[in-house]
Structure 1
Amino acid sequence: MTMNRRSILKGIGGTAAATTLAGCIGGLFTGDDPEVLWHEFQDAEAEDFNDFLAEFNEETGHDLGSNSVNEMEEQLETALPAGEGPVGFTWAHDWIGLYHDEGYLYDATDDIDLNLEDTYSEAAAEAVQWEGNVYGLPYAAETVTLMYNREMVEEPPETIDEMEEIMEDYHDPDGEGTYGLAYPPTDVYFMSAYLQAFDGLLFDEEADELGVDSDAVIEGGEFIEQSLYPYTPAASDNEAHEATFGDGNAPFTINGPWMTGEYADLDLGVAPLPLPDGGEPTPLTGIPLWYFTTEGEEADEGTLESVVEFAEWYTTNDDVITTNADNGMIPVHNDHVGSDELGETVGAFSETVDMGVPMPADAKMDSVWAPMEDALDQLFSGSESAADAFETAADEIRDSWD
């Protein structure tokens, strides 16, 4: 399967692994220890995670190890069918339908010692379940939102019109090498807020209807083409846009909480997404969770139990929840949801999450990402109009469903 969302999370941080990666063969982390957790946290998040994993092991007497995995999707698709994957891994909730269909996930309904609905928000409790099975435990909610450099922007814009005025002031790629906005133009997850800003949905999971060629989503594409894309670097890869903002060469970026630690050297501000005229940003939102895999059924006795125990601990531990919130990850534990003590950053992300819709977890959504990425590339390169590009994508997606 192919998708480009959150491709920002591809790097392995130098301090990210809690265990050495001696089991890496041809890019696949195999290893001999079945008690392994896989993650793709970046440096700042990885350091926090490693500290918490060490704390859990010390408290419980377990010896769980972890691997920081580059290209999580590709590694899982190779390792799990071969019986060499992790017992637990972390990612957003939207893989749950597809991985259920592929037989990769373990139903932990009878292993979990807490009540989902009493412990987590309604959306989070629903996100970890599929067809009556519980395939993981949630620890946050996330989406992308507006980030700004306070040295360049005094007050964050509330509307796109206000934002355009500021972008105009700074956009000088041929002279100063600066841009108005760092915003990866073909990343569908990042672009979803404005693609869906005019009452459209890329895929309506409840109605089982594709919407990428609807008038509303086409209007969203045209809006991005006219109002946002002209201020961005031409590069399509996320890393180039990271660097543009991180080096102080753009007043704005649109990115997720996983990047707040990476921008620690900036005077970083975080704000809700600005409103377009006649619309409202509707980003795709995610519920990060610890998934349980069928590797646990074949692991040494007690391994699955210790991984489930870790997931329960991690998703309910106050220090974990507040530390993740400091990184902009919105709490989903009922004792912390809506807390006024979690700071400006998580408050801004929370407002944007409230604007959005959960990423569809239906396996059909997996066929949407790549055609829409190609459609955005065609649109922003000037090769096709939004209507033509999105209609071509829709035909390809529907053909893949048949």
Structure 2
Amino acid sequence: MKVNTRSLIVGGAMTAIAALSLTACGGSGTSTEPAASNSPAASSSAPASAGSLTVWVDANREPVLKQAAKEFAASSGVKVDLVIKDFSKIQEDFLRQVPTGKGPDITIGAHDWLGNLVNNGVVQPVELGDKAADFQDVAVTAMSYEGKAYGVPYATENLALLRNTELAGEAPESFEDMIEAGEESGAEFPFLVQVSETGDPFHLYPFQASFGAPVFGTDETGAYDASKLELGNDGGAEFAKWMAEQGKEGTLKTSVDSDIAKEKFISGDSPFLITGP
């Protein structure tokens, strides 16, 4: 089964952080010029002071970036100021503050912010160069918009099938095997995935993609092409038919939201749960 992959932005892997300013209008007034901070001399001589960079980060990622920033400052002379932000508010604040010159030089964020950020002119492309080969292709693609990379991927997140080994001794090889094992377990639910009354395209995307029906197709550069709505292809029609069948059979329930799915799996009312990241 294919999975829906989300990749997170970090505008610099700290080894080249000063060269990867993401703000189109320069961000904070204390940032250094990329060419100066990325030169061999800057990285080898570690000047006493070479300016500073402001990086927005959430509390979960601050500890690891704190250490990376310390090491980067020691080797380059560029001070890195980490500003802890509520992750859910970073995109909104970034869009509002960058045009005023008060935004950060670099921010973390989700790859699916890119369209909004690019169209609002608040980010610049990042040249990965030969470093692109160090990343998974899917991560680089996720961090690209219309064929250009706008961030350095540092993590990918996937949906996964969790299994209660006391209720199901072996991992299923197919969806049908999973349902059969779930029914044989005697649990209330043969498997769980959050759906809710409003639907959940993210958690159901592995099923959708398995029918050969991604939302959009791609162009010759590998970028998504909004004119190619592949969700409406024959595979998409089969996926919709399959969804209706699962609803009638009770394997997919609109009454199951994220909280119920988690609670029921933890309580042993189902041997399988699709969730993540």
TM-score normalised over the length of structure 1: 0.45
Aligned to 2:213: 200
Change (3 A) 1:195 1:82: same
In 2, distance between residues paired with 1:164 and 1:126?
34
1:139 to 1:200, Cα distance in 2 relative to 1, 3 A: same
Query: SS of 1:96's equivalent?
Result: helix
- 209, 225, 232: which one pairs with 2:228? 209
> Which residue of structure 2 lines up, in the alignment, with residue 390 of structure 1?
none
1:71 equivalenced with 2:88 (yes/no): yes
Superposition deviation, residue 54 in structure 1: 2.8
Matched residue count:
211
Distance 1:188 1:126, change over 3 A: closer
> In the TM superposition, what is the alpha-carbon distance from 1:252 to its structure 2 partner?
0.9
Aligned to 2:193: 183
> CA–CA distance in 2 between the matches of 1:64 and 1:246?
40
**Looking at both structures, which has the greater relative contact order when contacts are Cα pairs under 8 Å and sequence separation is at least 6?**
1
**What SS does structure 1 have at the residue aligned with 2:263?**
helix
Query: Which amino acid is the alignment partner of residue 98 of structure 1?
Result: N
Give matches, 1:381-396, under 5 Å. Answer: none
User: Which residue of 1 is the match for residue 48 of structure 2?
Assistant: none
The alignment partner of 1:106 has SS state of coil
Measure, in 2, the Cα distance between the counterparts of 1:125 and 1:234: 35
Q: Which residue of 1 aligns with 2:118?
A: 100
Structure 2 match to 1:161: 176
Matched, 1:243 2:263: yes
Q: Work out the CA distance in 2 between the residues paired with 1:68 and 1:167.
A: 42
- Provide closer, same or farther for how the CA distance between residues 249 and 236 of structure 1 changes in structure 2, counting only shifts above 3 A: closer
How far the C-alpha of 1:232 sits from its partner, in A, is 4.9
> Are 1:36 and 1:88, in contact at CA under 8 Å, matched by a contact in 2?
yes
Where does residue 130 of structure 1 map in the other structure? 145
- How has the CA–CA distance of structure 1 residues 147 and 101 changed in structure 2, closer, same or farther, with 3 Å as cutoff? same
Alignment of 1:266-305 (within 5 A): none
Match of 1:314?
none
Report sequence identity in percent. 21
Query: 2:47 aligns to what?
Result: none
Tell me whether 236-245 or 158-167 shows the greater mean CA deviation. Answer: 236-245
- Given that residues 125 and 150 in structure 2 are in contact (C-alpha distance below 8 angstroms), is that contact kept between their aligned partners in structure 1? yes
Displacement of 1:217 in angstroms is 1.1
Structure 1, unpaired ranges of 5+: 7-32, 173-177, 259-402
Output the amino acid matched with 2:130: N
Q: After superposition, where does 1:250-269 map in structure 2 within 5 Å?
A: 250-256=270-276, 258=277
- Partner amino acid for 2:203? F
Q: Which is richer in strand?
A: 2
Q: Compared with structure 1, are the counterparts of its residues 194 and 125 closer, same or farther at alpha carbon in structure 2 (3 Å cutoff)?
A: closer
Q: Are 1:226 and 2:245 matched, yes or no?
A: yes
Tell me which structure has the larger Cα radius of gyration: 2
2:115 and 2:145 in contact (8 A); partners too: yes
Q: Give the deviation of 1:136 after TM superposition.
A: 0.8
Q: 1:107 to 1:93 in 2, by over 3 A?
A: same
Correspondence for 1:326: none
Question: Take 1:163 and 1:100, find their aligned partners in 2: how far apart are those partners?
Answer: 42
Task: Tell me the C-alpha RMSD between the 2 structures.
Answer: 3.4
Secondary structure (helix, strand or coil) at the match of 2:232 reads coil
**d(CA) in 1 for partners of 2:157, 2:177:** 25
Q: Which runs of 5+ in 2 are unaligned?
A: 6-51, 74-78, 220-224
